[in-house]
Amino acid sequence: METYEALLTTLALMMGASWASGINLYAVLLVLGLGGATGHIALPAELSVLQDPLIIGAAGVMYVVEFFMDKIPGLDSLWDSIHTFVRIPAGAMLAAGAVGDVTPALEIAAGILGGGIAATSHATKAGTRLLINTSPEPVSNWAASFTGDILVLSGMWAALQHPEIFLVLFIVFMVIAIWTIPKLWYLLKTLLVKITKLLRMEKEVRDSAIAVAGDGSVAALERLRRLRDEGMLTEQEFERQRNKILNSDSH
């Protein structure tokens, strides 16, 4: 029975630390460091270094920085992009350290699994926040950020206090994430195509205006007709631009 409970505790710590690292690494380091230093968490020897005051202090400073950066639309996505190279390796190292003193093969396997879990949670967070940032209002961004903070802290608490419940919820999260990530990618790709199309339309309209001064109204009108035929201009926009060209040509 003790072996079973120890296995559950180790699995929950490994999965929880790597999963939460993909969302907010510094919160994880603070929870583990402070919990170990105060005696509320029995950390494996490989993770006992997190109890060092220097590491706790550095994690605390970075947590405060991330707390505010994560609330600013646009900067949060830039922060997530940079932390792709921080959260995933850290998640792998925490997972490897969480299994304790085991064989090198098992430690490497735990690191690979932890890195994959951190990458999944990081991609889910970063993709979701990038889509939310397309909205001009900041409220949804703040709500998503606070939700992420609460999710990490409550998830780590569950992993340490109720490993069975956490592992069930973790499996549910991973299933949802695996289902969601391709859809997030599709939405982001569609958004990028629309932005590219809009920029191209603006360039074509600007070129048409330049053509009035250079090549004459015939070339400009041809450009406008092509834009209308391709669906990049509505009939009303076409008529408005055409009248501008004809009026310019008559003066």
d(CA 179, CA 186): 12
d(CA 153, CA 93): 20
d(CA 13, CA 43): 9
Rounded alpha-carbon distances, angstroms, from residue 113 to 14, 121, 208: 9, 13, 55
Tokens of 216: 């004459």
- Please state the rounded mean pLDDT for residues 83-88: 93
Rounded alpha-carbon distances, angstroms, from residue 198 to 37, 167, 172, 219: 55, 45, 39, 21
Residue-wise pLDDT tens digits, 37-68 = 999 888 998 999 999 999 999 999 999 999 99
Max mean pLDDT range (10-14, 227-231, 244-248): 10-14
- Please state the rounded mean pLDDT for residues 234-243: 76
Question: What is the residue extent of each domain of the chain?
Answer: 2-161, 192-250
Which pLDDT score is estimated for 188?
72
Tokens of 187: 């939405």
Residues 6+ away with beta carbon under 8 Å from 244: 209
Residue-wise pLDDT tens digits, 66-85 = 999 998 888 898 999 899 99
In DSSP notation, 92-153 reads HHHHHHHT-S--HHHHHHHHHHHHHHHHHHHHHHHHHHHHHTTSS-SHHHHHHHHHHHHHHH
Which pLDDT score is estimated for 50?
95
Residue-wise pLDDT tens digits, 158-205 = 999 999 999 999 999 999 988 988 888 787 777 677 666 666 665 555
Please indicate whether residue 3 or residue 1 has the higher confidence score (pLDDT): 3
Residue-wise pLDDT tens digits, 15-31 = 999 999 999 999 999 99
d(CA 84, CA 81): 5
Residue 236 has pLDDT above 80, yes or no: no
- Please state the rounded mean pLDDT for residues 229-235: 72
Residue 250 has pLDDT above 60, yes or no: no
Residue-wise pLDDT tens digits, 146-156 = 999 999 999 99
Please indicate whether residue 72 or residue 5 has the higher confidence score (pLDDT): 72
Which pLDDT score is estimated for 119?
94
Residue-wise pLDDT tens digits, 89-140 = 999 999 999 988 778 888 999 999 999 999 999 999 988 888 888 777 778 8
Which pLDDT score is estimated for 235?
77
Which pLDDT score is estimated for 213?
45
Residue 215 has pLDDT above 60, yes or no: no
Q: What is the pTM of this model?
A: 0.76
Percent of the chain at pLDDT > 70 equals 83
